[in-house]
Structure 1
Amino acid sequence: MTVIGAGAWLPRQPSPAAAGRVFCLPHAGYGAGVFGKWPDRLSGIEFLPVELPGRLTRFGESMPDTFGELAHDMIDGLGRYLDVPFAFFGHCWSGLIAYDVTTQLQAADGPSPACLYVSSQVAPQDGPVGRMLDMDDAALTAELESTIRAQGKDPHPQLVAVCLAMLRADVELNRRYIVPEPLRVTCPITAIGWTDDDEVRPEQMAGWSMCGDTTFERFDGHHERFLDAPPELLEALCAGIRRSV
């Protein structure tokens, strides 16, 4: 297994003066750029987007076969930056990555996150779920083209083809993720649902209480409202860090 340095995982160098760090994991088919509207920091707490294999500067790398392998590699890459209070934020698909990173740190007696934040994702034992699991390549292509147009851009065929390969790999990774009995984490969990989410309803997230001590939050907005950096979400992410300081 190739160990990649933190420079590959983090587009922006962490500040040694940060009071805390929230590592932000992009959802399926996307890279760290989805957090482009997010501030670099809030009240001394950094928001650090994580670049996963197969995206942007890491196009030449393949995604690992399992979330567990991906979590292992991520810990190797980010370990030196877990020296201040930190948390993981994962939305939809990447909520499962955030959970696996947390359980692996716990199993290795490593540093514990101040909080695990999962948005729009069912608990590990309740999946896999997601409308993309049943889509063929033609349907996924249409989905990508629609998303690109919604961003005010033209879906260039070569770009769509590259994104399709990435999205398909992510979808298959989710399909293989089967967790009959979840490992409870020792850090608190905050499960975040969205009022207008038509992909994962907030009530579908109740199973997270089996994974650890869980607080349930519900914010206004649709499935991808997090992209707009809602103030209430950013404040919730910082709250867990502040409680641990």
Structure 2
Amino acid sequence: MYRSEGRGGVLILCDHASAHIPDDYEGLGLDRAVLSTHIAVDIGAAEVSLLLADLLDAPALLAPVSRLVVDLNRDPETQDPCPPISDGIPIPGNTALDEAARVARLDRWFHPYHKAAEDQLAAMMARGEQPIVIGLHSFTPVMKGEPRPWQIGFLYAGDNRLYRAMQPKLASDWGLHVGDNQPYSGAELYYTMHRHGERHGLMQATIEIRQDLIANAEGQRHWADILAQTLRPLLLKRAPLLPKKD
């Protein structure tokens, strides 16, 4: 946990921060070039998470392994967190994964990650904080041949308070086209935010930034600054800002 003692009132969770595949998984049978692509890692998300944590004095938890080893944002009861295919690319090390090997990956990576998030959240709430919980991700500028026009998007399930609080400022101050449950829907992909934010009644959202905008250090600093400047006025209020949407 980075900045575990941070008092900024935000908890940052980066489920797809790393492209690392431990040696004992033998690269999952993939060409190393695959590990620098979006199927292995959310490009730029780790760097923006750490920069934002510094700007806001916020704790940040970053995934230690690639989403191809185990996807930390998938409910293992209803979704496969060890995908045999990702964006049309077969993952040989996952295609014949038996139940024992799957459980071993969950025990080694999935459960400790979410336990660390739970412990951090409990510590923050024990000292009287009601933190904003952010899942920080990135998305490709083109998917299946279709350009994605948003620079940033918010995913949520039922509670869209954070989107409604941040979207006007992002649009007016920065001129951004902000995705409303785009480029994905939080109704489908929301495990981490539901577990650590929504079910506690906390203001939360998955924030997705387009990868071409945070592919280098300059872009990463710029976007961390955008998020920090947009979040600071909300944090000063230290209270629910808007009623939940019916």
TM category (shorter chain) comes to 0.3 to 0.5
Please, what TM-score do these two structures have when normalized by structure 1? 0.38
Please, what TM-score do these two structures have when normalized by structure 2? 0.38
